[in-house]
Structure 1
Amino acid sequence: MLVQSPSEVSAEPVSATQQPRRRHSVRAVGLLVSVGVLLLVCVASIVVGAKPVPVGDVWHGVFHNSGTGTDVVIAELRMPRTVMGLIVGVALGLSGAVMQALTRNPLAEPGLMGVNAGAAAAVVTAISFFGVTSLTGYVWFAFAGAAVVSVLVYLLGGSRSANPVRLALAGTAATFALYGYVNAVQLLDSAALDRLRFWTVGSLATADMDTVRRVAPFVGAGVVLALLIARPLNAMEMGDDTARALGAHLNRTRVLAMIAVTLLCGAATAACGPITFVGLAVPYLVRALTGPDMRWILPYAAVLSPVLLLGADVIGRVVARPSELQVGIVTAVVGGPVFIHLVRRKRMAQL
C-alpha cells in the first residue's frame, strides 16, 4: 500500500491555487506589453507622414512649439490626429466588445450591425436639411441615429429571441439601406457631397484639438459605463437563465450596454465618420488571447484597437505618399479577411 507524504498531499491544492494567479499574471504582463506597443504606434503616428520628422524633434514640437514648419506639423497636425485616433480606437474597440457580449454574436460590430450607418445617416441629414456645420451639432444627431438604429436592429433581429444570424442579417439590411440614403443625399446636394466625401469613408485627416476636447467627454462616459457592466455581461454570455440565477439584471444591463455603445459610436462617428471592422477584428482576436472574461477583454480591446486604427492610419500615409489613403479604407482592407474567416468557421456555419 502506497502512502503519500504530507508534502505530496499538499502539492495538488497549491498548484490549483497558483494556476489562476499565473493566468492573471500572464494577462497583466500581456496588457503591459500591449500598452508599450500602443506607445510605439503613437510615436510612429507623429513621426511618419508626407514630411518625415526626426524622432528627436517630436519632443520639441509637442512641448516647445516655436512656430517652425516642423513644430507646426507636429503640434497642430499630427498630435491632434494621433490623439483623435487613440480616442476613436478606444471607442470602437469597447463598443464592439460590448455588442459581441450583449448579443452573444462574434459578428456583432458597430459597422456591421448598422450603428455606424445610423449615425452617418443622421449626420448627413443634419448637414443637408438642417444646415448643421459644427461638431457639436453632429454629435447629437449621431447619438440619435446610433440609438434609433441600435433599437431597430435589435427588434428586427427578434429582440429577446434574437440569434446571431438574424441580428447580422438585420444589421446588414439596415446598413445597406442607410448608406443608400446617404449616397442619394450626397448626389442631390453637391455642397453636402463636398463636406462629406472624406468623412463618409472614415478619416482622421481633419482632426484638431478642439474636436478632441468636444468628443472626449462622451467617449469617457461610454468607457466608464462599459467597464462597469463587465461582470453582468460575463453572466449574460452564459445565457439569460444562467444570468438570472447569478443575480444579473438583464434588462438594466441591456439598457446600459446600449447607452454605452451609443455614446462610444455616436462620438466616434461624428468626429471621424463611420470606420468599420475595428470593433469586429480586435475583440475577436483579444478573446482568443484572454478567454471569455469581459474584465480582461475590455481593457485589452481598449488598448489594442487604437493600435490597429493608428497603424492603419500610418499605413495609409505611407502607401500613397505624398497623398494618403483614408483610414476607413485601410481598416476595411485589413478587417475583411477577419470577417471572412469568422463566417467560414465551422461553428459559425452551424449557427
Structure 2
Amino acid sequence: MKPITEKQSQKWPLLFLFSAAVLVMLIGVICNLKWGQAYISWRTLFEAVTYQGSDKAHLYIQTLRLPRAIMACIVGMQLALAGMLTQITTKNPLASPHIFGINAGAALAVVIGLVALPHFGNFGLIGFAFVGAALSALLIWSLAGGGRQQYVRLALAGITIHFLMSSLTEGFIIMNQHATDSMIFWLVGSLNLAGWSDVQIILPFFIGGMVLFTLMLPAFKLLLLDDDIAAGLGQRVNIVRGVSMVLVLILAGSAVALCGPIGFICLLVPHIARAMIGPNLPILGPMTALLGGILLVYADFLSRFIAFPFESPVGIVTAVIGAPYFIYLARKQGGAK
C-alpha cells in the first residue's frame, strides 16, 4: 500500500504543474488577442472570440490576432519537441535543429523555392523545407560517421553545416534582392503574417507529429540508454533513431517553412522542462510541448512592443532570451566532470 500512496502523492504536483502551464498559455493567448497596435475592449474581445459580432474590430481579432496566437502555440510546441528529440537522439544537451543546421537547411531550401517558384503555395514551401532539412541532416550524419566519438563529431558537423547553410542563404538573398526583400522578417522568424490558411496547413503536420510521438514513446525511451546496452537488449536502436530524426524533420521543417527559423526554443525549452519534472520521457514530452507553446506565445506578444507601433520579428525576442541561456548551458556542460 505504501508504494501506491507514494505514486498518488507524486501525481498531485505533476497535475498542478500541467494545469498551471495550461493556464499560463491561455493567459498568453488572451494577452495576444487583447493588446497590440489597435485598442480592443474586453467586451469586443469576448464577442469576437464567441463570434457574436462581425464589425471591423471583431474581424480584426478573428482573422489576424486569433490565428496568429494559435499559430504561436502550435509552432512553439513543435519546435520544443523537435529540440528535445534532437538532444535525446544525439545524446548532446546542447543540440537542437537550429544549432545543428537542420533549420538552416530548411530555410535555404525555402528561400530557393520562393525565388525560383514565387507562386508556389505554402504546401510546396513545406516540401522544400523538408528536402532542405533532410539533406542537412544526412550531410551531418555522414560527416559524423560512427564510433565512440560520433556524438562529438555530430556537434561539430552540425555547427559547420549551420554556418554553411546560413551563409548560402544570405548570399542567395544578396544576389536576388528584388525577389527576397520581403523575406527579411521571415528569416529572423516571424508570426506577423500568420493566418487561418497557415493554421490549416500546419495542423495535419502537428497532429501527425503528436500521434507519431505518442506511438513511438516506448521506443524513444531506448535513446536514453547507452547504445551498447540497448543493443544488448535486442533493440533496433538505429531504426528508432531514424524515426526520431524523421519526426524532427516533420516538426521543425513545417514550422520553419511557415514561420522562419525561430531560434533557441528548440534548445531552451527541453532544459527548462527537464529541470521542472525530471527525465521521465512520458511526462517530459507533454510538458516540453506546453512550455514551447508558452514561450513562443509570450515572445510574440513582447515582439509587438519592441518598436511600437511597428512590429518586430519574434525571433529577436527568442534570441535575446535564448543566447544568454545557451552560454550558461555551454559553461555548465564544459565545467561538468
TM-score normalised to structure 1 length: 0.90
After TM superposition, give the deviation of residue 59 of structure 1 in Å. Answer: 2.2
Structure 2 gaps, min length 5: none
* CA drift at 1:289: 1.3
Deviation track 1:118-157 (CA, whole Å, cap 9, x = no partner) reads: 1001111112234454211101000111111112222323
How far apart are residue 350 of structure 1 and its match?
A: 5.2
| Deviation digits for residues 83-137 of structure 1 (CA, Å, limit 9, x no counterpart) | 1111101110111111111111111111111111010011111122344542111
CA shift in 2, pair 1:129/1:159, >3 Å: farther
Match of 1:304 in 2: 291
C-alpha change, 1:166 and 1:19, in structure 2 (3 Å) is farther
Shift of 1:159: 4.2
1:319 maps to a residue whose letter is I
Say which of 304, 311, 332 aligns to 1:324: 311
Matched, 1:204 2:191: yes
Write the letter of the residue equivalent to 2:307: A
Matched, 1:134 2:127: no
Distance in 2 between residues matched to 1:220 and 1:162, nearest whole Å:
36
Residues 129 and 254, structure 2, Cα contact 8 Å, conserved in 1: yes
**Structure 1 position 116 matched with structure 2 position 76:** no
Match among 135, 139, 162 for residue 152 of structure 1: 139
How many Å apart are 1:166 and its aligned residue? 2.5
For residues 173-197 of structure 1, the C-alpha deviation after alignment (integer angstroms, 9 at most, x for no partner) is 1111111111111111123322311
Counterpart for residue 9 of structure 1: none
Partner amino acid for 2:23?
G
Q: Which amino acid aligns with 1:333?
A: V
- Structure showing greater radius of gyration is 1
| Matched residue SS, 2:209 | helix
Task: Find the residue that maps to 2:235 and give its secondary structure.
Answer: coil
For residues 83 and 219 of structure 2, the distance between their equivalents in structure 1, rounded to whole angstroms, comes to 16
- Report the 3-state secondary structure (helix = DSSP H, G, I; strand = E; otherwise coil) of the residue aligned with 2:309: coil
Q: Quick one: distance in 2 between partners of 1:287 and 1:156?
A: 30
Matched residue SS, 2:208: helix
| Fraction of identical pairs, as percent | 34
Correspondence 1:1-351 to 2 at 5 A: 14-64=1-51, 66-159=53-146, 161-345=148-332, 347-349=333-335
Q: 2:94 is paired with a residue of what secondary structure?
A: coil
For 1:320, the aligned partner's letter is: A
Backbone CA RMSD of aligned residues: 1.8
3-state SS of the aligned residue for 2:225? coil
Deviating beyond 6 angstroms after TM superposition, the runs of 4 or more aligned structure 1 residues are none
Gaps of 5+ in 1: 1-13
Q: How many residue pairs align between the two structures?
A: 337
Distance 2:273 2:320 in 1: 19
Q: Deviations over 1:12-37 (max 9, x none)?
A: xx444433432233223211211111
Judge conservation of contact 2:223–2:241 (CA < 8 Å) in 1. no
Report how far residue 158 of structure 1 moved.
3.2
1:277 CA drift (Å): 0.5
Compared CA separation, residues 163 and 36, structure 1 to 2 (3 A):
farther
Q: In the alignment, residue 157 of structure 1 is paired with which amino acid?
A: A
Partner of 1:5: none
Q: Distance in 2 between matches of 1:261 and 1:52?
A: 39
Q: Contact conserved, 1:58 with 1:74, CA < 8 A, in 2?
A: yes
Structure 1 47/269 Cα, relative in aligned 2: closer, same or farther at 3 Å? same
Tell me how far 1:163 sits from its aligned partner. Answer: 4.7
